[in-house]
Structure 1
Amino acid sequence: MENYTVDEYALCARFKSKRKKKRLVKEDFEKQLIQIKKLEKELWNKRKNLPLVPLDNPYQKGWQSNFVLREDVARSSEAEFYKSLLGKINTWQFSSEKSFKGKKKRKRRNVYVEKIQTVKEFSEWEWRSPKLELTEKEKMHFYKRERWCSNFKRFKIHYVFNEPWRYVLRISPYMITHTKMVDSDLESEIQFLDNYITNLNLRHKINKLVDGFSHRWSYYENENPKEISPIKNKSLQVLYQQYVDEMI
């Protein structure tokens, strides 16, 4: 009688070999990770699509600056045309200071300079895109301009509005009137799933499996709660008190 190995007998008897069983377990685990990623994305989208709820007491959070029609242009016969165009090229800036000054280093010193704000300019790719919302009449109010791009080390073409004097910059309080609705059940599901991924250190495996690579983003570099050392995470106040007690 011939002697057969376990793998040969399993092959003849149509049983699964140890290697195949191990591979099937791994494939099943990877399928579970993919489903976890899909579920997490679905929960995030549900949170993102929650409606806004008006606040009982609106409050101010800094300042905002945007362009409005100049008074004489608003009274002219072409006010509707320039108002419609402004809705497509208007820009907004937000700041905690009404002066809208930003910090900039000059000669090893930090100075505050005013932020330059202009109406929107279109790149060559945006100008040729079929998704551009400008009409042919509106396009006639733009001119082509070449500008040096330090990132690409070459000149790039931009289309600039040729009558910026028709709009003036307005600074107004930035009021918070609405807030995002909070779904306690949804937040509980998201937190439960996030705790499961964090406790089992699955974030790196999921990203590498779904995206093909995994970056160590600081957002996901939270310390595993199971690995937190009570000595390492003591507050400075407790450590200082222990030091004082030892000295006494």
Structure 2
Amino acid sequence: MENYTVDEYALCARFKSKRKKRRLIKEDFEKQLIELRKLEVNLWKKRRNLPLVPLEVPYQKGWQRNFKLRDDVARSSEASFYRELLEKINTWQFSPEKSFKRKKKRKRKHVYVENIQTVKEFSEWEWKSSKLELTEKEKVHFYKRERWCSNCKRYKIHYVFNEPWRYVLRVSPYMITHAKMVDSDLESQIQFIDNYIVNNHLRYKINRLIKGISHKWSYYEKENPKEISPIKNKSLQALYQQYVDEMI
């Protein structure tokens, strides 16, 4: 009678070998991580689709700046044309200061310089796109301009509005009148999943399973709560155990 090893006997008897069992356990865990990622994305979508709720008392949060028609242009016969064009090329800027100045380091000193704002310019790709909202009459008021791009290290073509004097900047308070609705149950579910992934260092593994790579995205670069402070660690464990007990 021949002697067989355990793996050979398992293969003949159609039993699962130890290696196959470990592989099945690993595959099952990876499937659970994929499903967990899908659940997390669905919860994010639900939070993003929550409606806006009007505030009882609106408040001001800085200042906003955009363009408007100059007074003499608004009284002219072509006011409607330039008003419609402005809706397509208008730009907005937001700043906590009414002066709209930004801090810049110059000669080892921080100085405040004027923040330049212009109407929208179109790249060559946008200009040739079929989704461009400009009419043929409106395109006549733009000219081609080559500008050096420091990122691409080459000249790039832009289409610039040739009559910017027709518009002037308008500064107005930026008022917050609505706020995003907050769902406490939804937030607790998102935080529970995030704590599980962060505490067990599973974010990189999930990225590798979903996308094939495990980049260190800045959004996920968080410290492990277990390594921050033992006091915070105890409070986190108490909250975690309380949540588990409620779920059960």
> Would the TM-score normalized by the shorter structure come out above 0.5?
yes
CA distance in 1, matches of 2:216, 2:167: 45
Whichever residue aligns with residue 203 of structure 1, its letter is R
Cα distance in 1 for partners of 2:86, 2:191 equals 43
Partners of 2:227 and 2:155 in 1: CA distance? 53
C-alpha displacement of 1:113? 1.0
Evaluate the alpha carbon distance shift between residue 86 and residue 224 of structure 1 in structure 2; reply closer, same or farther with a 3 A threshold: same
| Aligned amino acid, residue 219 of structure 1 | Y
- Counterpart residue number, 1:121: 121
Distance 2:71 2:77 in 1: 12
Corresponding residue for residue 141 of structure 1 = 141
Q: 1:91 to 1:200 in 2, by over 3 A?
A: same
- Alpha-carbon separation, structure 1, partners of 2:135 and 2:24: 59
Residue 236 of structure 2 aligns with which residue? Answer: none
- Does 2:168 correspond to 1:184? no
Identity %: 82
1:221 positional shift: 3.1
Shift of the 154–209 alpha-carbon distance from structure 1 to 2, 3 Å rule, reads same
* 5+ long unaligned stretches in structure 1: 234-248
Report Cα offsets for 1:6-28 as digits up to 9, x if no partner.
11112112222211111111111
1:8 partnered with 2:8: yes
Shift of 1:76: 2.3
**Poorly superposed stretches of 4+, deviation over 6 Å:** none
Does residue 100 of the first structure (1) align with residue 100 of the second (2)?
Answer: yes
In the alignment, what sits opposite 1:21? 21
State TM-score, norm by structure 1: 0.88
Aligned ranges for residues 198-217 of structure 1 at < 5 Å? 198-217=198-217
Q: Secondary structure at the match of 1:14?
A: coil
The separation in 1 between residues aligned to 2:231 and 2:196, in whole angstroms, is 24
Q: 1:174 to 1:229 in 2, by over 3 A?
A: closer
Alpha-carbon distance in structure 2 between the residues aligned to 1:49 and 1:192: 20
Q: Could you list the runs of 5+ residues in structure 2 that have no partner in the other structure? A: 234-248
Bigger Cα displacement from structure 2, 119-128 vs 9-18: 9-18
Q: Is the 8 A contact 2:104 2:113 kept in 1?
A: yes
CA contact (8 A) 2:225 2:232 kept: no
